[in-house]
Amino acid sequence: MEDNRIKFKLGATLDVLGTTRNKIAVESKTRPATILDLASGDTRTIKLDTLANILDALNELAKEKGIERTIGIDDIIEYIPAAER
């Protein structure tokens, strides 16, 4: 059952960074299946330390690519307010 309150944006963020789910899985020491689920919007839960590890890996990669902005939680997960659903 899809929850229309939450939109997962990891896949789009990976595209912007020009990287793969597998590279982020390796760099963040996260199970590839977890990254796949987040990228496809097919997850129900995520541990905060896993989220932090993914963000650390994304920001390190962004830095290596010369991207000066910080990748944040809103680049992975977006809350859709009731008025916009």
pTM: 0.90
Q: pLDDT of 23-52, one tens digit each?
A: 999 999 999 999 999 999 899 899 999 999
The four Cα atoms 25, 31, 34, 38 give a dihedral, to 10 degrees, of -10
Type of residue found at 22 = N
At 1, the pLDDT band (50, 70, 90 cuts) reads: very low
